[in-house]
């Protein structure tokens, strides 16, 4: 019986990483990314990943996961995760490596759709009423919002949005105004008055409310007359009344009193009409007889606007 020995020589092949075309990877902040490293060789090589900080990545780290095929999974990528990741493939036959650059994408924040490091807006608010100030921030990663409020109501409010991509600030100049009601005319006044030539006329126009409106008189010819202003025969007194000194027929017409505030406008019109010439309704066509010592009653009925009666007695004296 003869024996034959057969020897097999297994040829080793050094590790070879096959997918070296993946040289850089981009990923948005907060997402999960996979880095491939598929190596072959005899004997089967082991895969080791080196982080951008030159530390060996171990499965004990929750952030990383190395799959059986050598793929590295990086979860919830942060900005500091960016950099060069090195895949080392080693065996008794040699080693191979490849480097993958990981770029973490972030977008700078914006507030209310506006980009820029600092923006300023002016907002009006009414005292004792709720006011909403928009501060809607967007960006990748989602920005953190910080509100700074001035101790006084009126002043500056600042909304700051900050993320890994930078910071943006919205300054709100808050102008708090006193609550204002629509202007209201006080009382009921006549819409028309009769003008007496030569007699001073007073046209009244007053308003109610905690904050009185700005008052303007408009003359019949369209001339505006503000409070405290004198013009020809006219004087607009601070209390709102309009004084017409020594008026003539030329001052007849429609006068407009305008009250305006931030809530609205109200108007009153007063028409000055020329007075009618007085007419005697009863005339004595013959002398009136009276017994000496008895009382005499003489009638004087007249129509006209405005009306002022005057009697002249035989002695020439006037009796009003």
Angstrom distance (rounded) from CA 44 to CA 13: 9
Alpha-carbon torsion (236, 237, 241, 245), positive or negative:
negative
Greatest mean pLDDT among 7-16, 132-141, 230-239, 275-284:
230-239
Greatest mean pLDDT among 11-20, 96-105, 253-262:
96-105
Of 140, 181, 184, which is closest to residue 164 (Cα–Cα)?
Answer: 140
Angstrom distance (rounded) from CA 231 to CA 226: 10
Instruction: Report whether pLDDT(9) > 60.
Output: no
| CATH architecture observed for domain 13-105 | Sandwich (2.60)
Asked whether the domain spanning 107-177 has the same topology as the one spanning 13-105, the reply is yes
Peptide bond into 141 cis (omega under 30): yes
pLDDT band at 234 (very low <50, low <70, confident <90, very high): very high
- pTM: predicted TM-score of the whole model, two decimal places: 0.46
Query: Per-domain residue ranges for the chain?
Result: 13-105, 107-177, 180-287+295-320
Both structure tokens of 311: 């009697």
pLDDT band at 279 (very low <50, low <70, confident <90, very high): low
Torsions phi, psi of 191, nearest 5?
Answer: -80, -15
What kind of fold does domain 107-177 have according to CATH? Immunoglobulin-like (2.60.40)
Contact 213, 259 (CB under 8 A): yes
- Please give the pLDDT value at position 74: 93
- Please give the pLDDT value at position 181: 63
Q: What is the mean pLDDT of residues 212-239?
A: 88
pLDDT band at 179 (very low <50, low <70, confident <90, very high): low
- Please give the pLDDT value at position 185: 66
Both structure tokens of 276: 């009618």
CATH code of the domain made up of 180-287+295-320: 2.60.40.10
Instruction: Report whether pLDDT(143) > 90.
Output: no
């Amino acid at each position: 019986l003869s024996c034959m020995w057969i020897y097999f020589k297994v040829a080793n092949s050094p590790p070879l990483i096959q997918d070296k075309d993946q040289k850089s990877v981009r990923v948005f902040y907060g997402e999960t990314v996979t880095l491939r490293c598929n190596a072959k060789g005899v004997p089967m090589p082991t895969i080791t990943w080196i982080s951008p900080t030159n530390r060996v990545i171990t499965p004990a780290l929750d952030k990383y996961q190395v799959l059986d095929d050598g793929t590295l999974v990086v979860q919830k990528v942060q900005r500091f995760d960016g950099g060069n990741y090195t895949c080392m493939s080693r065996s008794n036959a040699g080693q191979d490596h490849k480097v993958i650059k990981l770029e973490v994408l972030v977008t700078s924040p914006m507030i209310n759709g506006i980009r820029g490091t600092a923006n300023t807006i002016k907002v009006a608010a009414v005292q004792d009423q709720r006011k909403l100030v928009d501060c809607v921030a967007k960006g990748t990663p989602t920005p953190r919002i910080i509100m700074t409020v001035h101790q006084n109501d009126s002043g500056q409010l600042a909304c700051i949005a900050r993320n890994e991509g930078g910071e943006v600030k919205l300054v709100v100049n808050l102008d708090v105004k006193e609550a204002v009601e629509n202007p209201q005319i006080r009382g009921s006044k006549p819409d028309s008055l009769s003008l007496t030539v030569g007699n001073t006329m007073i046209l009244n126009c007053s308003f109610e409310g905690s904050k009185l409106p700005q008052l303007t008189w408009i003359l019949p010819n369209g001339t505006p007359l503000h409070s405290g202003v004198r013009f020809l025969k006219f004087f607009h007194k601070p209390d709102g009344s309009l004084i017409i000194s020594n008026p003539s027929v030329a001052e007849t017409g429609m006068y407009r009193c305008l009250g305006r505030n931030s809530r609205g406008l109200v108007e009153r019109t007063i028409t000055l009409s020329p007075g009618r010439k007085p007419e005697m309704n009863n005339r004595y066509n013959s002398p009136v007889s009276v017994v000496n010592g008895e009382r005499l009653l003489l009638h004087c009925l007249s129509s006209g606007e405005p009306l002022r009666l005057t009697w002249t007695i035989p002695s020439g004296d006037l009796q009003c």
